Amino acid sequence: MNWFRKFMIGRYGPDHLSAGLLFLSLLISLIGMFVPVSWFGYLSYIPLVLCFYRMFSKNIYRRRAENNKFLVFWNPIASWFFKRKKTLNGF
């Protein structure tokens, strides 16, 4: 495991956008199991490759800027869902 730690020095690593891409890849893969189109399941590899590219990238400033743009888009959506969840639970 020490070799992986040395390998990751100076690389960006996981963030919110990478987690979103990983979730999107999983979602497309699950949908591909039920869609009778043979190439649809292969679409799940695109966000997965982008996720790994971002995590192993050494261009930290660009990856951080991409993540910030994603969070500007994602935070209002997530806060809307959390507000709805709180009102449904009565908190």
pLDDT in tens, the chain (91 residues): 899 888 889 899 999 999 999 999 999 999 998 988 888 888 999 999 999 999 999 999 999 999 999 999 999 999 998 888 777 776 5
Q: How many Å apart are CA 24 and CA 46, to the nearest integer? A: 10
Please report the pLDDT score of residue 90 as a whole number.
Answer: 65
Question: What pLDDT is recorded for position 54?
Answer: 95
Q: What are phi and psi of 10, to 5 degrees?
A: 85, 5
24/17 Cα distance (integer angstroms) = 10
pTM of the predicted structure, to 2 decimals: 0.81
